[in-house]
A and B are shown apart, each in its own frame.
Chain A
Amino acid sequence: MKGVFMSDSLMLRVRDVAAGYGRHRVLEHLNFEVEAHDYLALVGSNGSGKTTLLRTILGLLAPLEGQIEWPQGKPHFGYVPQVVSVDEIFPLTASEIVQMGLFGRIGALRRVQKSHVEKAQSALEEVGIGHLSKKLFRELSGGQKQRTLIARALVADPQILVLDEHTNNLDIAGEKAIMNLIDEVRLRHNVAVLMVTHSLNAVANHAKHIGIIRDGRFDFAPVETVMHNEYLTHFYGVSMQVIEVGGRKVVL
């Protein structure tokens, strides 16, 4: 399967990649391209391999086959992990969590300075929780935790924002608020967005391109192509219907 667009501002090229752990191949023959400032969502059920693909793209896992290429050089990632992956036993404040996003810049042997604390505060204010900077991360609500992690990803001015199941454990209102926030920061910071999620509805009205993963199969297309009855019915093998409510597309 091949990505359907090409661009001069190509940021990422995934060429015939097989992703997995050890000798276990989770996904094979992956081909797609992402341009700068794109908004790509990888959609699949739990265990489908979308997080494996994300970790492979980030370089946390080596591809079992094929190449991950960054034509303009490896970009600066702003990584937003699943909230549960951040250990809450460590008694750290929201500000301290966000400051960690600057550690790569500060470097080893150097301490966190006042300017770094101020930058962290600005990032928290940008995502709407500046007043919670001194509160412990574990005491925040699910949505506030997610905003903290987005602030941590943004604080070092990334070129690509990478989000892993960032709407897990959020209710519909929380999910919508976070998706709108990502739209805002994407435009404000002029960054590309790459996210994985299990909910097609969550990204249907936000992403520009969608990669769907199911039973080891992968397809990649612009959102306008994906959000059609025929396309989804053909891909999933069951009857799917896309309806439009208040200008927003919903899959039933």
Chain B
Amino acid sequence: MFFKFTRFAPIFALLLSLFGSHFAWAQNIEDVPLEDPPLALEEQPYSPEGSAGAASQTPLPTPQNGFGEHRHDEAEPIAEETLSDPNSFIWQALFAGLVVAVLCAYLGMYVVARKMVFIGVALAEISSAGIALGILLGFAPLWGALGFMLLGVFLLSQRYAPRRLPPDAPVGVFYVLATAAAILMIAKSVEGEGHMLTLLRGDVLAVYPHETLQMLAVFAGIALVHALFGKEFLLVSLDRDMASTLGYKAARWDFLLFLTIGIAVALSIRSLGVLMTAAMLILPAATALLLAPRWKIAAVIAPLIGIFAVCLGLYLSLVGDFPASAVIVAVLFGVFGPVLLWNTVVRKH
């Protein structure tokens, strides 16, 4: 009995964390906007209908609660009380960035090592199309992202005319299709292109505390699944046929692995945008695989690189008044570039 429970504990944990995150979202929906308002519409409250009349129904967060004030002028000097307030946008950005950095950097190890970088980016783009659909139709973008993520996992796991098309061709088709769909849906939404900028570029400085809590809850579930089934994920990733001969249902393990990656991507995109999510999925893992002599060591180094990039990137962003996500990506490349150069030039000889 106990064995049966422990066997399914990670699934329960995942469902509970999803439920918990939904509950947290439901609790917060009355207090904060569903989605980050576009920069062009900073002074207007967000509502799915997008009408100015909705202002009284969905008020913007007030400066007193600590988040949202940065939207008024990010170039203003940072007040001392902002830094001392744990609910301020700086700390929220740091918490959210660290949560994403740790998990996405670890999951990215599988994405990079399994040569699925393009699939990972396509999945991110498909999830963003789900967010765009949520914005267009007025439902919570998170569910759009999760729904499209599941659709993406299904579509990308299929084989399309394998004897006539290389496997990355359908992935490319879905990538451009999802991008076009997101652009069309956002263009037709009331809020317009401001959302597209936020969706693509992301804005780690515009993360709400409830989003961070949602990510933390769900990511804890994902981390538990990986802590319990790490060796199975590694086996099916390394040698699928071998896993099958040992009695593993390789397709099911693969699906669970892709599901955890997909959920992490969907949540991360909703809060931080496609750019930072894709960067966190690829660059720390690629750097760690170049640096580390062992898989287990790389699995520690990748999140550390992510943490370093978020901390330094946010600091540079605030000091220099740069877009935070782009600076974090620059920092990630600042680490990756020399490591790649060293591996290409020095190690080769």
Q: Is the CB of A93 within 8 A of B247?
A: no
A102-126 Cβ-contact flags toward B at 8 Å (1 or 0): 0110101101100000000000000
Contacts of A100 in B (CB 8 A): 231, 234-235, 238-239, 242
Q: Which of A87, A96, A162 contacts B113 (CB 8 A)?
A: A87
Q: Is the CB of B247 within 8 A of A108?
A: no
Alpha-carbon distance between A216 and B95 when the two chains are bound, in angstroms:
62
Interface status of B164 (Cβ within 8 A of chain A): no
Alpha-carbon distance between A100 and B231 when the two chains are bound, in angstroms:
8
Interface status of A185 (Cβ within 8 A of chain B): no
Q: Which residue of B lies closest to A80 (CB)?
A: B242
The interface-forming segment of A34-42, A52-60, A222-230, A239-247 is A52-60
A92-104 Cβ-contact flags toward B at 8 Å (1 or 0): 1100110011011
Q: Is the CB of A162 within 8 A of B232?
A: no
B224-241 Cβ-contact flags toward A at 8 Å (1 or 0): 000011011011011101
Contacts of B114 in A (CB 8 A): 87
Q: How far is the CB of B43 from chain A (nearest CB, A)?
A: 50
Alpha-carbon distance between A86 and B239 when the two chains are bound, in angstroms:
6
Q: How far is the CB of A68 from chain B (nearest CB, A)?
A: 14
The interface-forming segment of B75-83, B202-210, B293-301, B311-319 is B293-301
Q: Which of A90, A106, A109 contacts B295 (CB 8 A)?
A: A90
Q: Is the CB of A96 within 8 A of B295?
A: yes
Q: Is the CB of B238 within 8 A of A77?
A: no
Contacts of B245 in A (CB 8 A): 58-60, 77, 79, 162
* Majority secondary structure of chain B interface residues (helix, strand, loop or mixed): helix
Contacts of A156 in B (CB 8 A): 246
Q: How far is the CB of B184 from chain A (nearest CB, A)?
A: 36
Q: Is the CB of A90 within 8 A of B232?
A: no
Alpha-carbon distance between A111 and B229 when the two chains are bound, in angstroms:
9
Q: Is the CB of B247 within 8 A of A91?
A: no
Interface status of B322 (Cβ within 8 A of chain A): no
B98-129 Cβ-contact flags toward A at 8 Å (1 or 0): 00000000000000111100000000000000
- Interface size on B (CB < 8 Å)? 29
Q: Is the CB of B237 within 8 A of A87?
A: yes
Q: Which residue of B lies closest to A74 (CB)?
A: B247
Interface status of B153 (Cβ within 8 A of chain A): no
Interface status of B244 (Cβ within 8 A of chain A): yes
Contacts of B289 in A (CB 8 A): 89, 91
Q: Is the CB of B246 within 8 A of A108?
A: no
A199-225 Cβ-contact flags toward B at 8 Å (1 or 0): 000000000000000000000000000
Q: Which residue of A lies closest to B162 (CB)?
A: A21
Q: How far is the CB of B246 from chain A (nearest CB, A)?
A: 4
Contacts of A111 in B (CB 8 A): 231
Q: Is the CB of B238 within 8 A of A90?
A: yes
Q: How far is the CB of B113 from chain A (nearest CB, A)?
A: 5
Q: Which of A79, A97, A104 contacts B241 (CB 8 A)?
A: A79
Interface status of A132 (Cβ within 8 A of chain B): no
Q: Is the CB of A85 within 8 A of B295?
A: no
Contacts of A91 in B (CB 8 A): 289, 292-295, 298
Q: Is the CB of B238 within 8 A of A87?
A: yes
Interface status of A136 (Cβ within 8 A of chain B): yes
**Which residues in A have some Cβ–Cβ distance to B below 8 Å?**
55, 58-60, 77, 79, 81, 85-87, 89-93, 96-97, 100-101, 103-104, 106, 108-109, 111-112, 136, 152, 156, 162
Which 5 residue pairs spanning A and B have beta carbons closest together? Answer: A104-B246, A79-B245, A77-B245, A89-B113, A91-B295
**Which residues in B have some Cβ–Cβ distance to A below 8 Å?**
6-7, 112-115, 228-229, 231-232, 234-235, 237-239, 241-248, 289, 292-295, 298
Supply 29 A–B pairs (Cβ within 8 Å), ascending by A: A60-B244, A60-B245, A81-B239, A85-B241, A86-B239, A87-B239, A89-B112, A89-B113, A89-B289, A90-B113, A90-B234, A90-B237, A91-B298, A92-B294, A92-B295, A93-B294, A97-B238, A100-B242, A103-B235, A103-B248, A104-B246, A104-B247, A106-B231, A108-B7, A109-B7, A109-B228, A111-B231, A112-B231, A162-B245
Beyond A60-B244, A89-B112, A90-B237, 4 additional contacts (C-beta under 8 Å) are A90-B238, A100-B238, A103-B232, A108-B228
